[in-house]
Amino acid sequence: MNVQQVQIEHARKERIAVGKAIRSKVPRAAHALWSPMPDRIDPIDLLEQSSLNRLQSLIPIRYGRMLSSPFAFLRGSAIIMSHDLATTPVPIFMFRYVAMLTSAILEHMQPPNVILYLG
C-alpha cells in the first residue's frame, strides 16, 4: 500500500465515523415519522411557482417528461421534496455543509455557461 492509498483509506474511515455519529443523532427511523404540515403548500402550486422563470414554451415538455415515470417525476419535482424535507430532523452541521458546498459551486459558475436541466 502506498502513501496515497493509506490517505484514501484514512479519509474513508473518517467519513464512516462521521456518518455513524450523524446517524446516532438522527436515526433513520426519525424520517419515517414524517407527516405533512398543516400549512403545507399545495405541491401543484409549488410546481407552478418553479415554472414562473422558465421558458413558457418548454413547460409542457417538462411536465410530459415528468409523467413518463415516478423517477422522472421526482427529478422534475425536487422543489416539492425540498419543502417536505425542510421540516425533518437534520444535524445542524449538515446545513452548514450544504451551504458551504452550494457557495463553492456557485462561486465557480459563470451565468452564461450554466444550463440547468430539470427533466
Q: Where are the domains of the chain?
A: 1-33, 38-119
- Band (96; pLDDT cuts 50, 70, 90): low
Would the pLDDT of 109 be above 60?
no
Residues 6 or more apart in contact with residue 81 via CB below 8 angstroms:
74
Q: Is 119 exposed, middle or buried (0-12, 13-18, 19+ CB in 10 A)?
A: middle
| Number of other residues whose CB lies within 10 A of the CB of residue 32 | 7
Would the pLDDT of 94 be above 70?
no
Name the grid cell of 89. 430532523
pLDDT of residue 61: 95
Residues 49-87 have pLDDT tens digits of 989 989 999 999 999 999 999 999 988 888 998 888 887
Higher pLDDT, 66 or 18: 66
Average pLDDT along the chain: 77
d(CA 99, CA 76): 22
pLDDT of residue 6: 58
Give the pTM. Answer: 0.55
| Number of other residues whose CB lies within 10 A of the CB of residue 66 | 19
Higher pLDDT, 21 or 60: 60
